[in-house]
Each structure stands twice: as C-alpha cells, then as structure tokens.
C-alpha cells in the first residue's frame, strides 16, 4: 500500500529509497512547523548521515522534486515543497560523502530534466571531487553531455557561477578520451590526439597534468595553482614538456587561421601558465609565438592572449597590439533579479491609464499590451492575441513574488510589470485560443 507523504508524494512499500523518503517526510513536517524568522535550519541530522547514504538521500530529493513537478497542476502548494527540497539539496551538496561512478551518473541523470528548476552546480562539484582520486569513464562523460546541453540561466546562483560551471564542464569533456577527434573543431585536438597515443607511465603523468588545467581559472595565475603544477611538471619532465609544447604551439607561426574552441582556449591558457611555472627561457619563447597567431574566431583571442601577462607581456602591450579588449561589465543582471527590479521599478513612463476605457496600456521591450482592469484580460496590440500567465511554467521562486491568491488589481500590476520587461518574461505568457 502506498504511503501518502506530507507533500502529496505517494511512497511505494518497495521503493529502494524508502528510508531516504521517510527522512524527507520528517524534514518537510519540521520545516512546515519551523519559524524561519527565529529558528535556523538544523543541519545536524544531515551532517551525521553515514557517507554511503548521502548519494541515496540526494537521489530521493531529486526524484521527489521531479514527481512534484510532474504533478504540479494537481497540488496547490507543490512549489513550496519544492523550494524546501531545493534548500535541502544545497545543504546535501555541501556535505562530504562517498560517491561511486554509478552514484554520480544516477545523480546527473536525475538532475538533467530539472535544469532550469534547481541550482545546477552540485552534481558537477561531486564529479570534480571524485576526479581528485579517480579518472573519467566513457559512461560518466556520456551522462555529462546532455547535462551540459541542458544548462539554462534560470535557477543558476548567478551569471558568474553559471559561467564557472560551463567552463568546468568544457574542460571535463575536453578530457573525454573516447570522443571522436575533429581537427576542424579546435587547434587543441592535436593535444588530445598526442595524449591518446601515449602509453604506460607517460600517459598517467600527462593525464595528471592535463587534469590540472582549469576552465574556471581566474585571469591571473593563482599561487596555489602554480604550487600544485610544479610536481606535475617535474613528473612529466622538462625535456618532454619542451618537446610537446614546441610541437603543439608550432601552428601559431603558420600564418593560417586556426580554429579555437572554448575549452581549447582554457587549455592554451593553462599550458602558458605551465610554461611560466617551469621558468624556462625556451618555453617562454614557444609561448610568445602566440603573439603571431591568427584565430578563425576572434572572440576567443583574449582568452588565449591574457595568459601571456604571466610571462612579462603587459596588458597594455596586448591592448596596443589589439590582441585584447578593454573589459566591459556584463549588461545582463542576474536572472531572478530581473523580476525583483521589475516589481520595484517606477512604471509611470511604461504603463498608461486610458481614462475613457477600462484599459491599461503597457509598453514592453518588444510589444505593446492592453490589460482590462475589470477582468485582467491581456491583449497583445501587434496581433491582438489574448495572453495569460502560465503559472505552472514559472520558477518556484517567482511564485513567492507573484502571489496567485492576491487580489485582481495586484495581479494586474504584477503582470504589467512583467510585460514591461517582455524580453525576459514573455516566455511565461501563453496565447489563449481565439
């Protein structure tokens, strides 16, 4: 007999994660009773969880979250339960645990359909921890590719954290030793080719060095990164490192436009840093061949050039050579902040009251809209399509701001504010049949 849970989930008696789901039931009940203004979340029980039970507990949260999404239209407060579960998921990802390859694949597979609904960093953080003592496998790489393809701006902690996650995934999958090579994709395919031809201890040592290259590295080389790179370079040996770098960087002097992918730019930056750590004049000369390179994709030039500052080439010199550009702040605010700023902005110049009719005229970024004050009916002026807010498509945090139980005039005001920024929020409105 299925056990009804506090959030509406039906727990089967033979569910392999039954013990984890029962813990979730207790947690949801406790959170419902907790006064969040005066009492902090008790992390003790979760931190005391045996390490080998942490993967199952994480999976239970993900499965429960997905079930609540699939039954959203049947449950009035499913979004509140999901927000509580998402909060717990963040806690679970901060606790050290023991994850096997199969655990990681299961968690990545369970997270991929939820991208855009939950913070995406946790599973890949677990992978990077796992790789400190283990290597990638074909199955793990196959699981990460749809995860990478499904990443969205929604529900990322910030634009910076999402960018860092994308960069990390780029490098992890660049290390996929089973993906077919494609020389037209990136200059760095020659490195992947040569690495795959290595055998024995040589391959082990080079794998360790290549794993040290980071996609989410800062602009300047961190001291800790350089310190950890030194023994990896010593293991490879100066002679072999010189030989490989001379071979891999030789195309930079060819005068031919070279392809450069995003992960390839990270690899190049890391190898230039390695040249700096080695402190060898011959390696510095090889790295300076970059000053003559021609890339097919101009947008990636700066990523490869900026690493030369570690070899004494100043940023001013790179600017003078038109090899990099002045930094321009990202004009896009964080995703959720779009909504908050919309609701706080003064709409007087974008919303007009029609004194002769029962209408609000809203000027969006892409369209004009007419909203009936008496009914809340929304009409897009350009094609007279009738629109309505698709409540179930909204991220859960939005629902806490856009209270569906608010009065009509308050709902009209909130939806008008969203339509002012229709370049961001139009996706949450659907056309009603004529």
Tens-binned pLDDT, residue by residue, of the chain (434 aa):
789 999 999 999 999 999 999 999 999 999 888 887 788 888 888 889 999 999 999 999 999 999 999 999 999 889 999 999 999 999 999 999 889 999 999 999 999 999 988 889 999 999 999 999 999 999 999 999 999 999 987 666 677 888 899 999 999 999 999 999 999 999 999 999 999 999 999 999 999 999 999 998 888 899 999 999 999 999 999 999 999 999 999 999 888 999 999 999 999 999 999 999 999 999 999 999 998 888 887 776 676 688 888 888 777 777 776 666 655 444 333 445 555 555 545 455 577 777 667 888 888 888 889 898 888 899 998 889 999 998 888 888 777 777 767 788 888 888 888 888 787 788 889 998 87
Which one-letter DSSP state was computed for residue 287?
H
Which range marks the domain in which residue 38 is found?
Answer: 3-174
pLDDT reported for residue 355: 67
pLDDT reported for residue 346: 46
Asked whether residue 184 is assigned to any structural domain, the reply reads no
pLDDT reported for residue 324: 62
Helices then strands (H, E): number in the chain? 20, 8
pLDDT reported for residue 217: 87
Which one-letter DSSP state was computed for residue 27?
H
Total number of domains constituting the chain = 3
| CA-based nearest residue to 233, from 265, 208, 262 | 208
- 137's tokens: 């496998």
Q: Determine the Cα angle at 135 with ends 51 and 109, to 5°.
A: 60
Tell me, yes or no, whether 102 and 202 share the same domain.
Answer: no
Tell me, yes or no, whether 226 and 166 share the same domain.
Answer: no
Q: What is the DSSP string of 192-208?
A: HHHHHH--HHHHHHHHH
Tell me, yes or no, whether 139 and 39 share the same domain.
Answer: yes
Tell me, yes or no, whether 30 and 106 share the same domain.
Answer: yes
Asked whether residue 401 is assigned to any structural domain, the reply reads yes
Residues with Cβ < 8 Å from 54, sequence gap 6 or more? Answer: 92, 95, 97, 98, 99
Asked whether residue 329 is assigned to any structural domain, the reply reads no
pLDDT reported for residue 433: 84
CA 220 → CA 61, 127, 277, 308, distances in Å?
Answer: 38, 25, 13, 10
Tell me, yes or no, whether 212 and 85 share the same domain.
Answer: no
pLDDT reported for residue 50: 92
Tell me, yes or no, whether 164 and 225 share the same domain.
Answer: no
| CA-based nearest residue to 253, from 226, 293, 225 | 293
Tell me, yes or no, whether 8 and 73 share the same domain.
Answer: yes
Tell me, yes or no, whether 15 and 162 share the same domain.
Answer: yes
């Amino acid at each position: 007999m299925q056990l009804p849970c506090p959030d509406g989930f039906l727990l089967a008696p033979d569910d392999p994660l039954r013990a984890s789901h029962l813990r979730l039931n207790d947690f949801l009940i406790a959170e419902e009773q907790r006064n969040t203004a005066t009492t902090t979340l008790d992390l003790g029980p979760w931190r005391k969880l045996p390490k080998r039970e942490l993967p199952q507990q994480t999976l239970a949260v993900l499965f429960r979250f997905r079930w609540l999404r699939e039954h959203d239209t049947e449950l009035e407060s499913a979004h509140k339960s999901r927000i509580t579960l998402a909060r717990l998921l963040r806690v679970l990802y901060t606790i050290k645990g023991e994850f096997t390859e199969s655990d990681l694949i299961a968690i990545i597979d369970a997270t991929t359909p939820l991208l855009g609904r939950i913070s995406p960093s946790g599973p890949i953080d677990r992978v990077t921890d796992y790789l400190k003592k283990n290597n990638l496998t074909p199955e793990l790489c196959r699981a990460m590719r749809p995860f990478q393809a499904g990443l969205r701006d929604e529900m990322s902690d910030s634009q910076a954290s999402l960018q860092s996650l994308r960069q990390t995934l780029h490098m992890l999958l660049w290390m996929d030793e089973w993906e077919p090579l494609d020389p037209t994709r990136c200059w760095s395919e020659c490195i992947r080719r040569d690495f795959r031809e290595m055998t024995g201890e040589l391959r082990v040592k080079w794998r360790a060095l290549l794993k040290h290259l980071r996609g989410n590295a800062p602009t300047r080389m961190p001291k800790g990164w350089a310190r950890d790179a030194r023994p990896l370079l010593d293991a490879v040996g100066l002679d072999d490192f010189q030989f490989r770098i001379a071979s891999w960087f030789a195309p930079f002097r060819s005068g031919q436009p070279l392809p450069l992918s995003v992960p390839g730019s990270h690899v190049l930056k890391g190898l230039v840093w390695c040249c700096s750590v080695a402190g060898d004049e011959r390696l510095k000369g090889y790295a300076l061949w970059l000053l003559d390179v021609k890339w097919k994709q101009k947008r990636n030039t700066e990523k490869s050039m900026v690493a030369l500052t570690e070899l004494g080439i100043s940023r001013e010199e790179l600017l003078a050579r038109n090899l990099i550009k002045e930094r321009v702040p990202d004009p896009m605010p964080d995703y959720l902040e779009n909504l908050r700023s919309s609701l706080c902005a003064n709409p007087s110049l974008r919303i007009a009251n029609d004194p002769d009719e029962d209408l609000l005229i809203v000027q969006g970024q892409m369209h004009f809209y007419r909203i009936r004050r008496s009914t809340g009916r929304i009409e897009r002026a350009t094609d007279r399509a009738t629109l309505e807010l698709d409540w179930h498509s909204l991220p859960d945090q939005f629902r806490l701001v856009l209270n569906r139980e608010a009065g009509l005039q308050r709902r009209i005001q909130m939806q008008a504010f969203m339509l002012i920024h229709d370049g961001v929020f139009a996706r949450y409105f659907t056309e009603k049949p004529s």
